Chain A
Amino acid sequence: MKRGINILGRGGTTLIAISLALLLVSLIPQVRTFQAKGTEFLSPGEDRLVFNQLNITPHQEVQLTVTVEGKVTVYLLEKSLEYRIFNGTIDYWFNVTDLQENPDQIIWEDEVENGEYTRSYNPSRVMNATIIVYNQPDSEEAYLQYDLELRNALAPKEKAQNIAYWAVPIGVIMATPWILIGWKQRKRNSANRLGT
């Protein structure tokens, strides 16, 4: 019985230690490594490349904030587009019908209408990523203001914190009997020492 309490208690304190490390890691602030801001007018059927990056890693997080007047569709795609810079403008090839043939390339497909939209993505493996804003052919001209950030973090903050928040109470419950027994024993020992 006592050995079981010992094992459970040490398991609990170890779980607390791991959770504290996770919390510490999640509290280390993210470092911004890339930022792109811009304003655009999108005609019906027109699209705009906002972000195109090879090999983003699980340590990185892409965050996009978009303010729209009109109606647009924001795509995050698991692919990189071929592009060339010609006379100061980026020339790239994108066709929305290609996406219908390869729906597995779509990570987000969010419609935004007259408002602000913020979303972030943390990849779970090394992958290529592209963000495209598309104005549907049947829509009117849209005004778009975007702010994109690529940040580096040691760990996925939300996931690490969620695990820690669950693990700490479990660890405390596991460790409490062991701590109480140890404390009582210490108290008894010191009382005996005082008695002698």
Chain B
Amino acid sequence: MADYAHPEALVSTGWVAEHGNDDNVRVVEVDVDTKAYDEGHVPGAIAWAWNTQLCDTVRRDILSSRQLEELMAASGVTPDTTLIIYGDNNNWFAAWALWQARIYGHKDVRLMNGGRKKWLAEGREMVTDTPRPARASYTAMDADNSLRAFLPQVQAASAARSSGLVDVRSPAEFSGELLAPPGLPETCQRGGHVPGARSIPWGKACNEDGTFKSADELKALYAGEGIDGSKPVIAYCRIGERSSHTWFVLKYLLGFDNVTNYDGSWTEWGNLVGAPVERGANASAAKS
């Protein structure tokens, strides 16, 4: 991990096995499949459900600062806690949780490299008991919206080609052939991508074991599509979790200063009346 711009944003499975129960460490599992935790999890880990605890359940939005404070406090997390997050699908929603924690200023939050899959594949200890952390006191910082892109910013960036727009969905979603990942419900009216976006599927940043590729491989991957940190980058997917993963890569592993996650993503853009849409593959999508 030494070649990454911010290696401190990642821990290995071995580190978690050794330090997961340290006093100032809280390990949290965040899965796409919110029942996976119940079958077994990292010793000492608690679970956050992305669909009820990491979003506003009434309006479509991320947590408010008050909601995040309540989640952290109930989880026994203080602003000084080292928060280690991991999950299934190579950390999709773990990255979503980390992104929100960073928005509200949590200083020390890290991903477990390889996520749940690597922990399972390595045959590490799994437990089914659910820890009950003592309630803590937590005060969030003001939301740092420099980490988040909203629709007007994306519209402006697309029109002016002023940012690198990275579509991290599969090539078939990017082209418009599919409106959702195979087997999942369609959540938009139109297929395609934001005009000017480049197709760089999130999974290209990962090795087979779920860990992140090396810094050199990541640099080559994104630079090959013109994403080199020289101008702002906006990542998006369908609902914002896969793009959190790419946001993490660009922000912490490559160290780009100006990277935002457009959590409205294709579910917002692909349902807008009158929004411009491009269809078809770009060069990278055609190759993959």
A binds B: no
Residues of A within 8 A of B (CB): none
Which residues on B are within 8 Å of A, measured CB to CB? none
